[in-house]
Chains A and B, each alone.
Chain A
Amino acid sequence: MSKETLFKQGAIWAFIVVELIFFSVAGSYLSVSDSAFMDFDNMLLLLKQSAPIGIIALGMTIIMINGNIDLSVGATYALAAIVLLDSMTWPFMQAMGDWAIPLAWFFALLTGTVLGAINGLIVWKTGVDAFIVTLGSMLGYRGLVFMYNGEQPTSHLNWTLVDFAEAQFLGLHTATWFLLVAALILWLVMTKTVHGRNAYAIGNNREAAVNAGIRVGPHFLWNFMLIGFLAALSAVVFYSESGSVNPNDGMLYELWAITAVVLGGTKLSGGYGSIISTLGGVIAIQLLRKGLGHIGADTETVNLVIGLILIAVLFLDRQLNRTGKEELKI
Chain B
Amino acid sequence: MKMTFTAALVASTAMTGAAMAGSHSETMTIGITQNNVGVDSYQTTYEKAFIEAAEANDMVEAVVLDAGGDVARQIAQMEDLIQQEVDAIIIWPTNGEAVIPAVRKAHSAGISVIVTNSNIAEQGFDFVASFSGPDNITQGSRSAEIMCDKFKDMGIADEARVVQISGQPGYTTAIERAKGFEDRLPEVCPNVTLVETQPGDWNREKSQQVMEAFLVKYDDIDGVYAGDDNMGVGALNAAKAAGREGIIFVGATNFSVGYDAMADGDYWGSIYQSPVDDAEAALKTAIDVLNGEDVPFLNYFDTPKITQDNMDEFTKPVF
Chain B proximity mask over A39-54: 1 for CB below 8 Å, otherwise 0: 1011001001100100
Is A96 interfacial (CB 8 A cutoff)?
A: no
Q: Closest CB-CB distance, B148 to chain A, in whole Å? A: 33
Given the interface contacts A162-B101, A241-B101, does A32 sit within 8 Å of B95 by beta carbon? no
In chain A, what residue has the closest Cβ to B100?
A157
A309 close to B15 (CB less than 8 A): no
Chain B hits for A204, CB < 8 A = none
Q: Of B15, B63, B94, B99, which contacts A32 at CB under 8 A?
A: B63
Task: A295 to B19: give the CA distance in the assembly, Å.
Answer: 8
Q: Given contacts A34-B24, A246-B94, A293-B63, are A298 and B15 in contact (CB under 8 A)?
A: yes
Q: Is A191 an interface residue (CB 8 A)?
A: no
Q: Does B71 contact A (CB under 8 A)?
A: yes
A33-B11 contact, Cβ under 8 Å, with A11-B1, A297-B19: no
> Contacts A242-B75, A292-B12: A300 and B101 contacting too (C-beta < 8 A)?
no
With contacts A22-B12, A242-B99, A313-B4 known, is A249 near B71, CB below 8 A?
yes
Is B149 engaged at the interface, CB distance under 8 Å to the other chain?
A: no
Flag if B80 contacts A293 (CB, 8 Å): yes
B317 within 8 A of partner (CB): no
- Total count of chain B residues near the partner, CB < 8 A: 55
Set of chain A residues within 8 Å of B105, measured between Cβ atoms: 166
Chain A residue contacts of B287, Cβ below 8 A: none
B123 and A297 contacting across the interface, CB-CB below 8 Å: no
Among B4, B18, B123, contact of A309 (Cβ-Cβ < 8 Å): B4
Query: Chain A contact residues (Cβ within 8 angstroms of B): what range?
Result: 35 or more
Q: Which residues of A contact B73 (CB under 8 A)?
A: 289
Alpha-carbon distance A309/B9, docked complex (angstroms): 10
In the assembled complex, the Cα of A243 lies from the Cα of B124 at a distance in Å of: 12
- Looking at the complex, which of B82-90, B132-140, B183-191 is the stretch in contact with chain A? B82-90
Residues of B within 8 A of A (CB): 1, 3-5, 7-9, 11-12, 15-16, 18-21, 24, 29, 37-38, 61-66, 68-73, 75-77, 79-80, 83-86, 94-102, 104-105, 121, 123, 168, 170
User: Which residues of A are in contact with B by a Cβ distance under 8 Å?
Assistant: 11, 14-15, 18-19, 22, 26, 30-35, 39, 41-42, 45, 48-49, 52, 151-153, 155, 157, 162, 165-166, 238, 241-246, 248-249, 286, 288-290, 292-301, 304-305, 308-309, 312-313, 315-316
A-B contact pairs, 11 of them (CB 8 A): A14-B1, A15-B5, A33-B63, A48-B79, A245-B95, A289-B76, A293-B63, A294-B80, A294-B84, A296-B20, A312-B7
